[in-house]
Amino acid sequence: MSKLIAQQIANLSLEIKQYNQQYYQLDSPSITDAEYDRKLRELRLLEQNNPELIQANSPTQTVGSSALSAFTKVTHELPMLSLDNVFSAEEMDEFIERINNRLKRTLQLNFCVEPKLDGLAISLLYEKGQLIRAATRGDGAIGEDVTRNVKTIKNVPHHLHGNNIPARLEVRGEVVMPIADFEKFNLTAIANNAKAFVNPRNAAAGSLRQLDSGITATRPLAFYSYGIGIIEQGELADSHYQRLQQLKSWGLPLSDEIQLREGAKGCLEYYETLLEKRTNLPYEIDGIVFKVDSITLQEELGFVARAPRWATAHKFPAQEEQSTLLDVEFQVGRTGAITPVAILQPVFVGGVTVSRASLHNADEIQRLGIKIGDTVIIRRAADVIPQIVKVLASNKESCKSIIFPEVCPVCQSEIERIEDEAIARCTGGLYCAAQRKEAIKYFSSRKAMNIDGLGEKVAEQLVDEGLINTPADLFKLSTEQLIPLERMGVKKAENLLAAIESSKQTQLAKFILALGIREVGDATAKNLAHHFLTLSAIQEASTEALLKVDDIGEIVAKHIRTFFKQAHNQEVIQALLEAGIHWPKLQKKADDKQPLKGKTFVLTGTLLKMGRSEAKQALEALGAKVSGSVSKNTNYVVAGEAAGSKLIKAQELGVEILSEENLLLLLE
């Protein structure tokens, strides 16, 4: 039995060492972080139950991977350790219990709490305030000399300024690529047929480990300090938090999120706060690090093989997981765009179960080199739609190439692919049932005609049963036609007809939006309505006239002109007007009726009295812009009940905060 377990431990150790090498040396992991964490935990559990089988070079006892030969090696004077992890509130309690047991007393512990930035750990050595060397962590004992590259990072100070700087000081921290820069970098790379990075961490690691520092200099990297190694000839505070503040005063960058908290409760509250704030941070984080704040206690607690006893990381739910591509479906959208959709082995990632992901277009399929049957990495970061970012393994024999259809999979019309446009489109227009269904769903959606009870399923049935072909046909429906539909019945049919009837009273901007003109969304529809005031003025507008409208450029103007020129669109509009759709007459607004012109508002939390969309409309009617995210350009944040991360950001940026009562007064 024990021979079997020893073999199991040896195999798992070897496997993890290979992953370490791919991750730390080659910047090309072949499994997700989540899968890696599970393997390491499995090994740790096996070793815990069989301590006699623990090897000194087991991945549970070592850090990272040995340095690459291309760079000069640097021996760390003090080892650069890793961190142990906790994954739940119970494990957090156990962490604190272990500390108390070790200290042989129960203290109310203060923790310095910090976001765990997902980047590359780096050591910066300053002598007499001058940066003389930068090194990667490597295996914790020996790292790589990356001084020339690190010196190209804009926020790394080459000289420290201030008082009481130790003669020798080693600052440790993380090099990251900020999310916005990572996204920009990847878009440019894809446009230039160059290699895109899987995630910001890989981008940071790949950029820093360039042999040509000229390349590193072009990459938007940033450094954030998290700790101190060597201190010679200098006194520092007895608090980790105060030490970090001291680093800041000398010019070293710190994350704005570092705080002091009390006990497990304080740590867990911070974890929840940051989990919510995660999407608004400029850099990617994969968890929180809790550190006993007192340096005296840290020294008393000491280290285990590869990690300090006084610190632990509480990981966030994984944003990347592995899955298998089972099949690809081709979806036809409202404007005929044909989108390949990946059908995946369901996997829990970023807090939801993902079983489908867009593959965008044929170029993306080619870029990923993806085939049916491949093992892939699914990424769902910051509430964005899931993406396939990498193919991990392809079994050449059993994998099947993805064949893009030559005709529309729904109506068999020809597919066109305009040069310079990545998207393939069905040319069937409203002949295509898929486009008809999508047009009707869009027409009745909340932002457009807001027909309650006309969801996806009903719209699809109405088209499939041949009851409607265009949105205008909705207004000719009878209860008798609706009742036999699936899950409909008399009551629902009556309600739906009442909703269709009441949708006739609308606004010009909503009607324009509902028509589904390409590239004309919510904001453009409003701009068109307020600029031209009548439907006929919009229908007849020349390209020159359209270009005078806010946010309308050549392409959108062309789509608007094309739409209104087409006979079948004119017929549908005529039929809709004849069905009784109407809106209040618009008048040119004088600026004195727009007292909030030029002001930007953000609405957050639950507004109890008027609701968010009503508040948005009221503010816009007075000329204000209502935005979805807080920035330094925001003038006011209206914070309702249970407001979260946007309120925190507003407080940090010093943006004026209004309660719902304040808002009501302002609107009056």
Binding site for ligand I6G (CB under 6 A): 81, 83, 114, 116, 121, 174, 226-227, 289, 308, 311
Residue 192 CA to residue 70 CA, distance in Å, equals 28
Question: Least separation, in Å, of the C-beta of 312 and ligand I6G?
Answer: 9
Question: Least separation, in Å, of the C-beta of 562 and ligand I6G?
Answer: 54
Residues whose CB falls within 8 Å of the CB of residue 395, separated by 6 or more in sequence, listed in order: 373, 374
Cβ-based nearer residue to ligand I6G, 9 or 81? 81
Amino acid at 189: A
* Nearest of 394, 379, 369 to residue 322 by alpha carbon: 379
Strand partners, 73: 144
Cβ-based nearer residue to ligand I6G, 303 or 348? 303
Cβ-based nearer residue to ligand I6G, 225 or 335? 225
Question: Least separation, in Å, of the C-beta of 169 and ligand I6G?
Answer: 16
Strand residues in 105-167 grouped as ranges (E): 110-117, 120-127, 130-136, 142-144
Cβ-based nearer residue to ligand I6G, 121 or 454? 121
Question: Least separation, in Å, of the C-beta of 114 and ligand I6G?
Answer: 4
Catalytic residues: 116
CB 274 within 8 A of CB 94: no
* Residue tagged 């926020």 (tokens): 155
Angle between helices 200-208 and 179-191 (to 10 degrees): 80
Question: Least separation, in Å, of the C-beta of 311 and ligand I6G?
Answer: 5
Residues whose CB falls within 8 Å of the CB of residue 530, separated by 6 or more in sequence, listed in order: 509, 586, 589
* Residue tagged 């350009």 (tokens): 633
Q: What are the b/e assignments for 509-536, b being 16+ CB within 10 Å? A: bbbbbbbbbeebeeebbbbbbbbbbebe
CB 94 within 8 A of CB 266: no
Cβ-based nearer residue to ligand I6G, 27 or 174? 174
Cβ-based nearer residue to ligand I6G, 66 or 255? 255
Question: Least separation, in Å, of the C-beta of 313 and ligand I6G?
Answer: 7
Amino acid at 474: L
In total, the chain counts a number of residues equal to 668
Cβ-based nearer residue to ligand I6G, 138 or 227? 227
Cβ-based nearer residue to ligand I6G, 27 or 374? 27
Residue 309 CA to residue 311 CA, distance in Å, equals 6
Question: Least separation, in Å, of the C-beta of 173 and ligand I6G?
Answer: 8
Question: Least separation, in Å, of the C-beta of 643 and ligand I6G?
Answer: 28
Residue 381 CA to residue 522 CA, distance in Å, equals 26
CB atoms inside a 10 Å sphere around CB 285: 22
Cβ-based nearer residue to ligand I6G, 307 or 573? 307
Strand residues in 576-655 grouped as ranges (E): 600-604, 625-627, 636-639
Question: Least separation, in Å, of the C-beta of 250 and ligand I6G?
Answer: 18
Question: Least separation, in Å, of the C-beta of 210 and ligand I6G?
Answer: 22
What single string gives the DSSP state of each residue in 565-593? HSHHHHHHHHHHHHTT-B-PPP-PPPGGG
CB atoms inside a 10 Å sphere around CB 45: 11
What's the start-to-end Cα distance of the chain, in Å? 79
CB 81 within 8 A of CB 63: yes
* Residue tagged 């739940």 (tokens): 88
- Looking only at the bridges linking them, the beta strands covering 352-358 and 424-426 are unpaired
Cβ-based nearer residue to ligand I6G, 255 or 524? 255
CB 290 within 8 A of CB 267: yes
Question: Would you call 448 helix, strand, or coil by DSSP?
Answer: coil
User: Cα–chain-centroid distance for residue 283?
Assistant: 10
